[in-house]
Amino acid sequence: MATLPAPEEKILSVGELTREIKELLAGAFAGVWVKGEISGWKGPHQSGHLYFKLKDPSATLDCAMFRNSAAKLSFTPKDGLEVEAYGEISVYEPRGAYQLVIKQMRPAGIGALLAQLEELKRRLAAEGLFDAARKQLLPRYPRTVGVVTSPVGAAVRDVVKVLRARWPGIRIVLAPVKVQGEGAAAEIAAAIERFDRWGGADVLIVGRGGGSIEDLWAFNEEAVVRAIAAARTPIISAVGHEVDVTLADFAADERAATPSNAAELAVRDARETRHRLETFEQRMGSRIRNRLERLQRDLTAILRQHGFRRVKDLFIHWRQRTDELRGRLDLGLQGAFETARERLDRARSAWGLREAVPRRLAEARTGLDRSRTALDDAIVSRVHDRRRHTLALADRLRALSPKLVLERGYALVRGPEGRFVRSAASLAAGAHVTLEFAKGEADATVTKIRSGDDGPDGKARRESRKGGL
């Protein structure tokens, strides 16, 4: 049977058909959430738009995210990251392929936690909380170790066991806290702050046993990280196993692979330390003995060189030698004094100083006393003259003082700017002035101006100015 051709009432072009499909899909899928794994990620286009695919085990979907929406992302997309994307289905007409135009996108499941963790890590690192320069050295021989962990579980038992085995006399103070679940981060941070205020612990161990990323999440919380970074007490982080890394590890002064390893870092092995001390004592004893033997040999050589049989003979020799030198020194000093005395006597005889010196000293002393008395009298007279001159100047200054004029009933006038008014013509009606009296001031307002230039005196003054007087 022959197949009838389709009616030819309306034949669509490829572009028309594609546009109708686009409108149909856009109307049916105007807003939809899609979950899938990013594939084919190549980074932002030079225009700022993002182009990639979302896939799951059964299908692949082309995606486009334009620049305005991409700028709002709080994480960096990459291949293999599972995301949840919201957008609408559209058709890219040149290829006739449908795609998801994404308006919002967020990590899905564990990906969301990891993205949140990376963002917090980046922000705290920018503040310098993870800088190596701010980390403290652990004490070599702590007396008290503080432990912040759960009171139950293997972690606290391992820490206590290792601490007691390595240094039996160590003092251990436990701050029991929740290490996972709601409120755990707040308890951990508060315990660290309490230890720091107390100041009795030389080092802190903060941590817990292994678990999933969700179990360890309290040690990624910002409150715990900031408490560790702000603590003055050195802190060892001991969270999970060696492969587990939290933000607490970056902020702590030392990171331990496990809680047991943290205890090993906190205190030294007492047996090993004792062995090292014994070895050091033996080495020091050997060095001291060798030194004494060397000195003994040197002393024996000196005794033989100078013909002494005993050490006592050596000291007797040096004592006699000292007495001999002291006697020679005394004789030399006595001779020097005798020579100096003879020279002085000759000088006195030659210059006649034997009787003249005391007389001249007495005359000089008398002249000095007269000069001192005259100087005192001159100073007193000069002071009196200056005082009389000063009092005369003060009287003249007081006579010229405007205050004295004010006391006779006059007043000083200051204009609005505080300057003294010398002429009524410099004021205007309505101006505010201040009148200063001998006692107190008063504010006044000018109601009328009489400059005084229109009267006989004013006319005479104008004629005097014209005449050059």
The token duo for 304 is 């033989």
Q: Which residues of 169-187 are buried (b: 16+ CB within 10 A; e: fewer)?
A: ebebebbebbbbeeebbbb
**Are 219 and 256 contacting, i.e. CB atoms less than 8 angstroms apart?**
no
* Interaxial angle between packed helices 222-230 and 110-126, expressed in degrees from 0 to 180 and rounded to the nearest 10: 30
DSSP assignment string, 91-135? EETTTTEEEEEEEEEEE-THHHHHHHHHHHHHHHHHTTTT-GGGP
pLDDT for 463 equals: 43
Q: Which among 381, 361, 384, 385 has a CA at the least distance from the CA of 373?
A: 381
**Are 257 and 242 contacting, i.e. CB atoms less than 8 angstroms apart?**
yes
| Residue range 178-204, pLDDT digits in tens | 999 899 999 999 999 999 999 999 999
DSSP 8-state symbol, 136: P
The token duo for 91 is 């058709």
pLDDT for 353 equals: 53
How far is the CA of 141 from the CAs of 106, 144, 238, 258, 431, in angstroms? 50, 9, 20, 21, 87
How far is the CA of 212 from the CAs of 51, 56, 239, in angstroms? 33, 25, 11
pTM as predicted: 0.46
CA–centroid distance for 226 within its chain? 17
What's the sign of the alpha-carbon dihedral 412, 415, 421, 424?
negative
Distance between CA atoms of 295 and 346, rounded to whole angstroms? 59
pLDDT for 355 equals: 57
pLDDT for 289 equals: 85
Residues shown for the chain: 469
Please give the chain's pLDDT, 469 residues, in tens: 555 555 666 777 676 777 777 777 766 677 888 989 999 888 888 888 999 999 998 999 899 999 999 988 877 888 888 888 999 888 887 887 888 889 988 877 666 677 778 889 999 999 999 999 999 999 999 999 999 999 998 999 999 999 999 999 999 999 999 999 899 999 999 999 999 999 999 999 999 998 878 889 999 999 999 999 999 999 999 998 888 899 999 999 999 999 999 999 999 998 988 888 888 888 888 888 888 888 888 777 776 776 655 556 656 666 777 777 777 877 877 888 788 778 777 766 665 555 566 676 677 778 777 877 877 787 778 878 777 877 777 777 776 667 677 777 778 888 877 788 888 888 888 888 888 887 888 888 888 888 765 544 544 444 433 333 2
**Are 236 and 203 contacting, i.e. CB atoms less than 8 angstroms apart?**
yes
Tell me the residue ranges of DSSP E strands in 235-282: 235-239, 254-255
> Judging by DSSP bridges, how do beta strands 441-445 and 171-176 pair with one another?
unpaired
DSSP 8-state symbol, 133: G
What's the sign of the alpha-carbon dihedral 61, 66, 69, 70?
positive
For residue 148, the surrounding DSSP H or E stretch is: strand 144-149
How far is the CA of 400 from the CAs of 281, 382, 409, 422, 441, in angstroms? 96, 27, 16, 18, 21
pLDDT for 411 equals: 83
Distance between CA atoms of 221 and 206, rounded to whole angstroms? 14
pLDDT for 356 equals: 60
Residue whose structure tokens are 């587990």: 244
pLDDT for 311 equals: 58
The token duo for 301 is 């050589």
pLDDT for 91 equals: 85
> Judging by DSSP bridges, how do beta strands 432-436 and 50-56 pair with one another?
unpaired
Distance between CA atoms of 167 and 265, rounded to whole angstroms? 12
